[in-house]
Amino acid sequence: MTSADRPVRTEVRGHVLVVTVDRPARRNAIDRATADALSAALDRLDDDPDLWCGVLTGAGGYFCAGSDLTANGDYVTERGGEYGVVRRQRRTPLIAAVEGFALGGGMEIAMACDLVVAAADSRFGLPEVGIGLVPTCGALFRGPRALPVNVARELVLTGDPMPAARAHDLGFVNLLTEPGAALDGALGLAARICRNAPLAVAACVRAIDDALGGDGAGWAATEAAKDVVLPSADATEGVAAFLGKRPPTWTAR
């Protein structure tokens, strides 16, 4: 079975569910089938009482390049929202294990996790403005929570990637590992979580999310930004230029 037939792999290690996006030919970008498979895996994580922690990673030396643009936005699931991940109301802690890069929606997936482990040579970025779009999967409000506000602005407004070492220094990355060791690092962190009472951990996950005040206002602000940008000529031009591998010509219209 190829990764095209099975875009997401799961493996149980004790009380930990390892979820791997397996589309390395597309740099683990998310399409409809991948979103559905991710959502099913994370449904299992939250619904199985024997699973006390999850680890989300990518195959082939990449974490995730975000949306597969050929999917035309068709990657929203009923329970998890975009990618089956970013609007999910989870009880079970989820750790992102990042190799290579987490760009666009890939960084937003990492932001939707509880903890982040990253290889020292990995990178995080929100390049949407470079193709005439805006981050639509939580970065506009989760970024300023997870990072200093001006750093979040820098990522969003420049589109330039951030090295994992800087993300670690700023507190977004919990644990920095040697290249190729992010999964092992995440499993070690998961083992530390699983030493504790699972009901208490689940209650803490929910309480911390509740204490942050919910995401309603953040999603409303994101929708307002989308309403401005998505109908624009620049958005059409940016995506066409990206797919055509050419520089865009902006008109501010």
Choice among 99, 128, 178, 237 that is catalytic: 128
CA angle 201, 202, 207 (to 5 degrees): 95
Residue type, 3: S
Quick one: residue 81, left, alpha or beta (phi over 0 = left, psi -120 to 50 = alpha)? left
Average the pLDDT over 179-195 and give the result. Answer: 98
Q: What is the pLDDT of residue 215?
A: 81
Task: Tell which residue, 116, 133, 129, 137, has the closest CA to residue 161.
Answer: 129
Choice among 108, 178, 223, 237 that is catalytic: 108
Tell me whether residue 178 is one of the annotated catalytic residues.
no
Residue 202 contacts residue 91 (beta carbons within 8 Å): yes
Residue 93 contacts residue 194 (beta carbons within 8 Å): no
Q: What is the pLDDT of residue 3?
A: 47
Tell me whether residue 223 is one of the annotated catalytic residues.
no
Task: Tell which residue, 90, 92, 105, has the closest CA to residue 52.
Answer: 92
Q: How confident is the model at residue 71 (pLDDT cuts 50, 70, 90)?
A: confident
- The yes-or-no verdict on residue 1 having pLDDT over 60 is no
Question: Is the CATH number 3.90.226.10 carried by domain 8-211?
Answer: yes
Q: How confident is the model at residue 4 (pLDDT cuts 50, 70, 90)?
A: low
Q: What residue segments make up the domains of the chain, in order of their start?
A: 8-211
Q: What is the pLDDT of residue 2?
A: 47
